[in-house]
A and B are shown apart, each in its own frame.
Chain A
Amino acid sequence: MNMSKQSRNGSNRSLIVDMKGIVKHFPGVTALDHADFRVERGEIHALLGENGAGKTTMMRILNGIYMPDQGEIYISGQKSSITSPREASKLGISMVYQHFTLIPALTVWENMALTIPSPKEPFLDMKYSTRLLLELEEKYGLEIDPTAKVSDLSAGEKQRAEIIRALSQGPKILILDEPTSVLTPIEVERLFEVLHQIARQGTSVIFISHKLGEVLEISDRITVLKKGKVTGNFLTKDATREELATLMVGRTVLFRINRPDVKIGDPLLNVENLTVKNEEGASIVNKVSFSIHGGEILGIAGVSGNGQRELAEALLGLREAKAGRVIICKKDVTNLPTKKIINAGAGMIPEDIQEMGIVRDWTLRDNLILELHSSCPFADAGPLRWLSIDIQVFRNEKEIDKFCDDAIEKFNIVAPNGYTLASNLSGGNLQRLMLAREIMRGTTVLIACQPTRGLDVGAAEYVRTCLLKHKERGNAILLISEDLDELKMLSDRIAVMYEGEILGILPPDTKVDKIGLLMGGTRDNSRET
């Protein structure tokens, strides 16, 4: 699947970056599998792929944060061993991250002064630092007020400041990690102008992204990564969206699950024009609408970071819905407290179980009764019974034990007993805990976020089978997953989410390229519901 085409001008432009056969392992996963990556001088090179494809890992190796397990790196023709960001900096490599590194409480020039001492050391020289900034701004076509406090800047301006800082050391290679995720369309245009200017000055730009449209617009050359392997490398002008989508997202299913037809019931979850805003006031979930009926699984496809997490949190009442409605089992639960939403029938398996789903230091049984701890039969009047007072105050340990034993048996949780600490459970078993908890308490609308992420094949299988069985009993499931194969396997319909919007809802046997297009941002004019 490797389509390499040689650059016609290769002879008088030397390779500034040449990474050969890079292999990088992390516990349980191969992030990069003999990947090659070459960048020419003054070129804008896009590194395209989904989350987990390996692009961030590749760049972190280039920037000295990780060391490759195998492979060689040549910078400007010299074999180099990049052991730290400092080393990378010395080699002329500079990276602008997704998270902001400037200190918000200080001004732009003060941030500069932290790393670039003035000639009047130990004194600060505002004029000097300001002059430096303005020179850089002119050279690269950026515009920032040096005296502005970073916290007062807009996201686009903050990013420009970050770029200036990265450029201040006069790098030969500038790496940008998903730079447009925080920008408005106008700011994206301005960024692209700046990038062109930077490239004209002789600095090579590496642009990491999952957005097809932007990649096609800005870059001279594209390398596509998928699951750690390079699946494509060609000049941008020779590439088409469809090709890119296919290379990025890949072919179909590895194995199929038997999916019997299930009778579709009433709509159990109705989402109407749901809008959720972030701290800066931008919409991370933008007028999302869909409905899921009993006996249905609706999958949400999309690269992480396009609002899926915020959508899930809003549905459970953990985030405020600025506009729109959420209706569960015919009850309007928009912006109700989480407790009420849970009682209406909703439940969630969160993306980051350790952070939000369990208490690590607690026992299995205490975690199992999280949502049920204050209701019958796990809480009762205890000794107050003898006073004829009937309120749920005391824990009923016997009932909790029964429930726990039941869960361990039904869901094959590998643990000696209910007193095992959650921190001692493997990832797969934690997922079973989650499933047991949500399913056994009768959740009718289950939101599953990346439920098989990080699991081995067997554990993932179990989770999927479980979800299917739950659906077959007439419940509704919202499945948010980065794994397209999984989505195609399990979903009755697949919605694609991009930049907070649902770009389309498609049948599960839709061609992967088409899904990939939507994931990459191409709006589909024929919308199916």
Chain B
Amino acid sequence: MDLAIGLLQGALMYTIPLWLAAMGELVQQRAGTWGLGIEGTMLMGAFVSYFITLKTEAILLGILSGLLVGIITGLFMALFIVILGRSQVVTGIGLNILAAGLTSFLFVELITKVYNRVPYVELMHVVKVPLLSRVPVLGPVFFENCSVTYGVFLLFPVLGIILYKTSFGLKNRAVGESAEKCNALGINVIKTRTLSVLFAYTLAGLSGATLVLGSTGSFTHGMTAGRGFLAIAIVIVSNWTLLGVAIIGFLFGITQSGQQILQIFTPQIPWQLLLAIPYIFGISALIVGALRARQPSELGIPFLRQR
């Protein structure tokens, strides 16, 4: 039983940052743009939150700074991708590389050289939900978490309502399907897409912060290790649905958490294969997507006003 709890707890810890990034990416992609820079944003959010928390010893400031990193990056990306209509992929790649270099550089210059070690920061406090945390198995897993985790749990239904039950969400979805038609109806495509991009990157920044302040308490070079791309793969494989993101995200969490256990029982499956699986899934989903046309119809096509 303890094994199961450990497994699930580990899974959840791994999944939370993924969920955040994937939810943001989902909204952005439904509105029609690829957010390939979330990997770099997560990394920057992680470093900044680590640095700020280290210097100010205030976890809250750490979280907020992660959010802020996301917002600033989001503004920048919105400018390049939505307003200027430049290549979504190359911009994303450029951002990721820049973020990797920036964070590693600053980490070396400002932390390792200064402290000669990697100081740990305090993690977010765990809050037990009264009564519910006593439920066997599920209790310790789901109801003994930090506040941000509970926030993520709540975000799912809230985002679901916003996306499917408000006119704002309707516009978000519509704009990713037929930007021209929406424009003809008088919907401000640029504004809608910009907001979706901002949302995605803000969440990515927060996601990076939770990586540091929720599980490890420190920073390492390239600590996101492709989680951003994983989030994108999750969105694709989940067929661009919120429910899919929740389930598949958690599945990846279990895979990661259960990997070590899996290694003991089935050593013949190389761990590299397990790591590669999300990307293979991603490609398959893209192929299926092209065959079934399930992805938002105008995903990736910039909306350029021809006046």
Complex: A in contact with B (CB within 8 Å): yes
Instruction: List the A side residues contacting B181 at CB < 8 Å.
Output: 101-103
One of B166, B182, B297 near A124 (C-beta < 8 A):
B166
Interface pair A121/B174, CB less than 8 Å apart: no
Q: Who on chain A is nearest to B178 by CB?
A: A103
Interface pair B167/A101, CB less than 8 Å apart: no
The majority secondary structure among interface residues of chain A is loop
B185 within 8 A of partner (CB): yes
One of A86, A101, A113 near B170 (C-beta < 8 A):
A113
Interface pair A105/B177, CB less than 8 Å apart: yes
Interface pair B165/A110, CB less than 8 Å apart: no
Interface pair A103/B186, CB less than 8 Å apart: no
A386 within 8 A of partner (CB): no
Interface pair A113/B167, CB less than 8 Å apart: yes
B184 within 8 A of partner (CB): yes
Instruction: List the B side residues contacting A105 at CB < 8 Å.
Output: 173, 177-178, 296-297
Interface pair B167/A106, CB less than 8 Å apart: no
Q: How far is the CB of A39 from chain B (nearest CB, A)?
A: 25
Q: How far is the CB of B49 from chain A (nearest CB, A)?
A: 32
Q: Who on chain B is nearest to A102 by CB?
A: B181
Interface pair A106/B185, CB less than 8 Å apart: no
> When chains A and B are docked, how far (Å) is the Cα of A113 from the Cα of B168?
11
A122 within 8 A of partner (CB): yes
Instruction: List the A side residues contacting B297 at CB < 8 Å.
Output: 104-105
One of B168, B177, B182, B186 near A122 (C-beta < 8 A):
B168
One of B164, B165, B187, B296 near A114 (C-beta < 8 A):
B187
A115 within 8 A of partner (CB): yes
> When chains A and B are docked, how far (Å) is the Cα of A431 from the Cα of B182?
38
Instruction: List the A side residues contacting B177 at CB < 8 Å.
Output: 103-106
B193 within 8 A of partner (CB): no
Q: How far is the CB of B289 from chain A (nearest CB, A)?
A: 13
> When chains A and B are docked, how far (Å) is the Cα of A113 from the Cα of B181?
14
Q: How far is the CB of B178 from chain A (nearest CB, A)?
A: 5
In the complex, which range does the number of interface residues on chain B fall in?
A: 20 to 34
B227 within 8 A of partner (CB): no
Q: How far is the CB of A158 from chain B (nearest CB, A)?
A: 13
Task: Using known A-B contacts A86-B186, A114-B182, A115-B185, determine if residue A103 contacts B174 with beta carbons closer than 8 Å.
Answer: yes
Give residues 90-122 of A contacting B (CB, 8 Å): 101-106, 110, 113-115, 117-118, 121-122
Q: How far is the CB of B297 from chain A (nearest CB, A)?
A: 6
Instruction: List the B side residues contacting A122 at CB < 8 Å.
Output: 166-168
Q: Who on chain B is nearest to A97 by CB?
A: B184
> When chains A and B are docked, how far (Å) is the Cα of A113 from the Cα of B166?
10
Instruction: List the B side residues contacting A102 at CB < 8 Å.
Output: 181
B 117-146 binary contact with A (CB < 8 Å = 1; else 0): 000000000000000000000000000000
Q: Who on chain B is nearest to A89 by CB?
A: B186
A26 within 8 A of partner (CB): no
Q: Who on chain B is nearest to A126 by CB?
A: B165
Q: How far is the CB of B98 from chain A (nearest CB, A)?
A: 33
Interface pair B174/A101, CB less than 8 Å apart: no
Interface pair A115/B166, CB less than 8 Å apart: no
Instruction: List the B side residues contacting A123 at CB < 8 Å.
Output: 165-167
Interface centre among B164, B165, B171, B296 (most CB of A within 10 A): B165
> When chains A and B are docked, how far (Å) is the Cα of A160 from the Cα of B16?
46
> When chains A and B are docked, how far (Å) is the Cα of A314 from the Cα of B22?
45
Q: How far is the CB of A318 from chain B (nearest CB, A)?
A: 22
> When chains A and B are docked, how far (Å) is the Cα of A103 from the Cα of B177?
7
> When chains A and B are docked, how far (Å) is the Cα of A106 from the Cα of B297?
11
> When chains A and B are docked, how far (Å) is the Cα of A87 from the Cα of B165?
30
Interface pair B170/A110, CB less than 8 Å apart: yes
Interface pair B185/A114, CB less than 8 Å apart: yes
Task: Using known A-B contacts A104-B177, A105-B177, A123-B165, determine if residue A114 contacts B170 with beta carbons closer than 8 Å.
Answer: yes
Task: Using known A-B contacts A86-B186, A114-B187, A115-B186, determine if residue A121 contacts B167 with beta carbons closer than 8 Å.
Answer: yes
Instruction: List the B side residues contacting A118 at CB < 8 Å.
Output: 167
Q: How far is the CB of A94 from chain B (nearest CB, A)?
A: 13
> When chains A and B are docked, how far (Å) is the Cα of A121 from the Cα of B167?
7
Q: Who on chain B is nearest to A86 by CB?
A: B186
Q: List 24 A-B contacts (CB under 8 A).
A: A101-B181, A102-B181, A103-B174, A103-B177, A103-B181, A104-B177, A104-B297, A105-B177, A105-B178, A105-B296, A105-B297, A106-B170, A106-B173, A113-B170, A114-B167, A114-B182, A114-B187, A115-B186, A118-B167, A121-B167, A122-B168, A123-B167, A124-B164, A124-B167
Residues of chain A at the chain B interface (Cβ within 8 Å): 86, 101-106, 110, 113-115, 117-118, 121-124
Interface pairs A-B: 7 shortest CB-CB? A105-B177, A103-B178, A122-B166, A103-B177, A123-B166, A122-B167, A124-B165
